[in-house]
């Protein structure tokens, strides 16, 4: 069964300040192309040609640029997230598109080499888990999701933006090993449609949003297997003007080759 892809591209990107007045963050340009185009082209390299883009803020900019996707060698459908209440329930807009297929899910501001998508797809097909999550090390896990794994890179839980006291508790419990890597949620996944069983039950978090990571934690707690894939090589979260500027000034080679 061919893999489909869902891209979360609904946010304004408030940390980008004036840069996103006219366009959503995934449409900010690097070397003459929007961030979102690099994601689409990396998917094409892995023969993923059925794509669903979830838009929201300035949705028309995305839809007018990519249209049906034909010019990019893909078929694109769209769904609009009207209320910006997190990423937990947003994938439900793609339920009909997904059907019974496995699918890649990624944030529209994360740029990685095409090989990363290929590795997630390969692991999903060879080991048959219910989900795969990409992780990276070297990031400040207190700014995102700290992923905890057991043997065989099986996810046991995700701690979202852990506080200093939570980090200390995890160390004291032996969950975090001294000197060991801290695995940061890289924002790229493969899911089976079982995900929607758990997004349907989500409650809003303390931030007042539906969190995708809560659905993943509940999957794991219910006995579903979620495997991790460490990203070997570059991973760019275009989270703020500083990251964007550095990529604009010196785009990595893999981006220029897409």
In tens digits, the chain (258 residues) has pLDDT values of: 689 999 999 988 889 989 999 999 999 999 999 999 999 999 999 999 999 999 999 999 999 999 999 999 999 999 999 999 999 999 999 999 999 999 999 999 999 999 999 999 999 999 999 999 999 997 888 888 999 999 999 999 999 889 999 999 999 998 898 888 899 999 999 999 999 999 999 999 988 999 999 999 999 999 999 999 999 889 999 999 999 999 999 999 999 999
Domain that holds residue 23: 4-256
SS3 state of residue 34: strand
pLDDT of residue 140: 86
Count of H-run helices and E-run strands, the chain: 9, 13
For the entire predicted model, the pTM comes to: 0.96
pLDDT of residue 1: 66
Residue whose C-alpha is closest to residue 222's, from 202, 205, 196, 198: 198
Domain count, the chain: 1
* Rounded alpha-carbon distances, angstroms, from residue 165 to 82, 162, 212, 213: 36, 8, 23, 20
Q: What are phi and psi of 43, to 5 degrees?
A: -65, -40
Sequence-separated (6 or more) residues with CB below 8 Å from residue 33:
none
* Rounded alpha-carbon distances, angstroms, from residue 32 to 17, 107, 171: 20, 20, 45
CATH number, residue 26: 3.90.550.10
Which residue is listed with tokens 């969950």? Answer: 175
Long-range contacts of 214-217 (CB under 8 A, 24+ apart): 214/88, 214/160, 215/88, 216/131, 216/133, 216/155, 216/158, 216/189, 217/157, 217/158
């Amino acid at each position: 069964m061919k893999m489909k892809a869902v891209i979360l591209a609904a946010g304004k990107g408030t940390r980008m300040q004036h840069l996103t007045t006219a366009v959503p963050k995934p449409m900010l340009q690097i070397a003459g192309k929007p961030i979102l185009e690099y994601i689409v082209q990396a998917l094409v390299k892995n023969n993923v040609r059925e794509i669903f883009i979830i838009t929201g803020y300035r949705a028309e900019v995305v839809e007018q640029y990519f249209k049906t996707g034909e010019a990019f060698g893909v078929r694109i459908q769209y769904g609009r997230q009207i209320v910006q209440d997190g990423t937990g329930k947003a994938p439900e807009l793609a339920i009909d598109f997904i059907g019974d297929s496995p699918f890649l899910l990624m944030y529209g501001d994360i740029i990685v080499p095409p090989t990363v998508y290929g590795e997630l797809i390969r692991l999903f097909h060879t080991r048959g888990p219910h989900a795969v999550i990409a992780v990276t090390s070297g990031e400040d896990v207190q700014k995102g999701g700290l992923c905890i794994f057991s043997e065989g890179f099986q996810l046991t839980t995700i701690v979202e933006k852990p506080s200093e006291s939570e980090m200390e508790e995890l160390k004291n419990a032996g969950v975090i090993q001294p000197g060991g890597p801290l695995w940061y949620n890289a924002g790229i996944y493969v899911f089976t449609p079982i995900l929607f069983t758990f997004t349907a039950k989500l409650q809003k978090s303390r931030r007042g949003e539906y969190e995708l990571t809560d659905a993943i934690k509940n999957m794991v707690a219910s006995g579903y297997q979620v495997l991790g894939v460490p990203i070997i090589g570059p991973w760019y979260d275009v989270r703020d003007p500083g990251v964007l500027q550095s990529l604009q000034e010196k785009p990595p080679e893999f981006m220029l080759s897409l």
